[in-house]
Amino acid sequence: MAMQASEIERLIREALPDAQVEIKDLAGDGDHYAAVVVSSAFKGKSRVQQHQIVYGALKGQMGGELHALALQTSAPE
Amino acid sequence: MANVQEQIAQEIAGSDVVLFMKGTPQFPMCGFSSQVVQILDYLGVPFKGVNVLDDEGIRQGIKEFSNWPTIPQLYVKGEFVGGCDIVREMFQAGELAAHFKDNGVPVAEAANS
């Protein structure tokens, strides 16, 4: 099972419309991704909370259909 | 037999540093769990590894407990610190060693810089 990078990006943008999203397919297998997400929604939030917001946007796919998504989150400067 | 959420709470309360992981600290069964073990070993921090592959109830239960969908998960003094990405990011920034010291968990001298 795998997910397209475009689908991951779409789900994140749906939840965080202002987000800058950059996704890399690490292994070329559609299963191991790295994402950099920058959104004002992360302002004042802890790293754990920021990642939880992204996982929430992915609607339970993370850990299931999506095996590995290395996340780096931050608020815009 | 306590329910799974109570069992998890007891594990977390039972040790200063608890890592829910795939495999054991000696034989991690997943690259992400292995990375966190290496970081903790480098810092010389004693920790308890809980192998979620041994217990399907804990494997699913910890995800609900922490509201976090993936393994590994690191707890320090009862507080969820993060998964592999956050632990690595904190380690690289020197924040992880500081976090341990702030919580009264000794860090190896060699790791101080």
**All domains in chain B, ordered by first residue:** 4-111 (3.40.30.10)
- Tell me the average pLDDT of chain B: 93
User: Which of A 21-60 lie inside 8 A of B, CB atoms?
Assistant: 47-48, 51-52, 55, 60
Asked casually if ipTM beats, i.e. exceeds, 0.85, the reply is no
Higher pLDDT, B1 or B40: B40
B52 touches chain A (CB under 8 A): no
pTM: 0.89
Q: Quick check: A61 pLDDT over 70?
A: yes
Q: From A60, A59, A46, A62, select the one nearest A73 (Cα to Cα).
A: A46
More confident residue, A25 or B27: B27
Task: Report the CATH number that the domain containing residue A54 is assigned in CATH.
Answer: 3.30.300.90
Question: What is the per-residue pLDDT for B80?
Answer: 97
pLDDT of amino acid A27: 82
- Verify whether the Cβ–Cβ distance A47 to B82 is below 8 Å: yes
**Residues B76-84: contacts with CB under 8 Å, at least 24 apart:** B76/B16, B76/B17, B76/B100, B76/B103, B76/B105, B77/B16, B77/B103, B77/B104, B77/B105, B78/B12, B78/B13, B80/A48, B81/A48, B82/A47, B82/A48, B82/A51, B83/A51, B83/B32, B84/A70, B84/B32, B84/B33, B84/B35, B84/B36
Number of domains observed in the structure of chain A: 1
Whether A48 sits inside 8 A of B32 (CB atoms) is: no
Residue B1: its pLDDT value, please?
Answer: 45
B63 in contact with A, Cβ within 8 Å = yes
Domain carrying residue A67? 5-74
DSSP state of B28: B
CB contact B67 to A (< 8 Å): yes
Distance (Å) from the alpha carbon of A49 to chain B's nearest alpha carbon: 10
Q: What is the mean pLDDT of residues B6-34?
A: 96
Say if residue B109's pLDDT is above 80. no
Give the per-residue pLDDT at B111: 55
